[in-house]
Amino acid sequence: MPLETVNRNIRYLRTRAALTQREFAERINIKQPTLGAYEEGRATPPLNVLTDIGRIFKVSLDNLIGVDLGTIPEKSWRQAGKPRREVLAITVDGQNRENVELVTQKASAGYLSGFQDPEFVKELPKISMPVLPRNKTYRAFEIRGDSMLPVPSGSIIFGDYVEDVASIKNGKPYVLVTRNDGIVFKRVFHFGPSEHKLLLVSDNRAYEPYAIEIADVIEIWAARAYFTSQFPEADDPTPSPLVEQLALQLLKGKGA
């Protein structure tokens, strides 16, 4: 492994993202002194660290190890900002059909680190939604908060897996699994292959839109359906005169 190139690239990616050593180390789950040793050439990063850096910053291992990233255009080394299906952990039922795993609020924190672990995914609750089209990979997420009203807090969102960020349809709702913001349910906008950010918009306009780096997105799920145990309240629960009249006629009919 050309150690000097790897060290230079790690330092380049960190400074390009305007991150301190502490912030960069936290993002790839190592200690700051360890990162300092990598950048200064006093230690060789192991494969798991290089894999994390490559996934987060969308650069292939070949480029991270063998190419001086600072000397070539970014579009030459940056991979398309997309979750990679080959690392998506799934489970199947007795008929070899993919299950729909439910990520509850309680499990959401663990999902950020266990989403690639088949054993972790295996332990998630399984639910069924027969009306969903087959031949797709689905997952369900319990959401909290009122940012997407009228979809209420506590609803379960069913989403199918999106392999490529280029497949995002602007303004449609998605569940995003992100490193920095956790699991979020928003309307998503992506403005072309040269744009490395996504704009997230809430249906509840009390919440301001905000942007996130595509590199921070772990998984994308296109929202297809939702389940809630909360029935919507009527705008005006007071019976109208017409409703009252119909009710009286029904009561008279029963008494006849």
DSSP result, 118-167: HHHHHTS-EE--TTS-SSS-EEEEE--SSTTTTS-TT-EEEEEE---GGG
In a shared domain, residues 55 and 129: no
Tell which of 53, 77, 101 closes a domain.
Answer: 77
In a shared domain, residues 117 and 214: yes
222: which residues sit within 8 A by CB, 6+ positions away? 159, 160, 162, 169, 172, 173, 174
Identify which has the larger pLDDT, 222 or 241.
Answer: 222
Going by pLDDT thresholds of 50, 70 and 90, the confidence category of residue 225 is: very high
Please say if the pLDDT value at position 80 is more than 80: no
Mean pLDDT for 207-212 is 92
Please say if the pLDDT value at position 91 is more than 80: no
Please say if the pLDDT value at position 244 is more than 70: no
Asked if residue 233 belongs to a domain, the reply is: no
In a shared domain, residues 114 and 216: yes
Q: Among residues 23, 87, 22, 26, which one has the least CA distance to residue 55?
A: 87
Residue-range definition of the domain harbouring residue 50: 3-77
The DSSP code for 87 is G
In a shared domain, residues 145 and 220: yes
Identify which has the larger pLDDT, 135 or 85.
Answer: 135
Asked if residue 167 belongs to a domain, the reply is: yes
pLDDT tens, position by position, 158-173: 999 998 888 899 999 9
Instruction: Point out the least confidently predicted range of 27-36, 78-87, 101-110, 241-250.
Output: 78-87
pLDDT tens, position by position, 95-149: 777 889 999 988 888 888 788 777 888 889 998 777 777 778 899 999 999 999 8
In a shared domain, residues 104 and 48: no
Mean pLDDT for 78-107 is 71
Tell which of 50, 77, 104 closes a domain.
Answer: 77
In a shared domain, residues 91 and 62: no
Chain-centroid distance of CA 115 in Å reads 11
**Helix 47-57 and helix 3-16: axis angle, to 10°?**
40
Q: Among residues 178, 173, 123, which one has the least CA distance to residue 148?
A: 173
Q: What is the CA radius of gyration of the chain?
A: 24
Overall domain count for the chain = 2
Assign residue 163 the CATH number of its domain.
Answer: 2.10.109.10
Asked if residue 206 belongs to a domain, the reply is: yes
Asked if residue 34 belongs to a domain, the reply is: yes
Identify which has the larger pLDDT, 176 or 236.
Answer: 176
In a shared domain, residues 32 and 133: no
In a shared domain, residues 34 and 92: no
pTM comes to 0.61
In a shared domain, residues 207 and 148: yes
94: which residues sit within 8 A by CB, 6+ positions away? none
Letter string b/e over residues 138-149, b meaning 16 or more CB atoms within 10 A of that residue's CB: bbbbbbeeebbe
In a shared domain, residues 138 and 67: no
Mean pLDDT for 14-21 is 87
In a shared domain, residues 60 and 171: no
In a shared domain, residues 108 and 210: yes
Q: Among residues 121, 129, 178, 190, which one has the least CA distance to residue 156?
A: 129
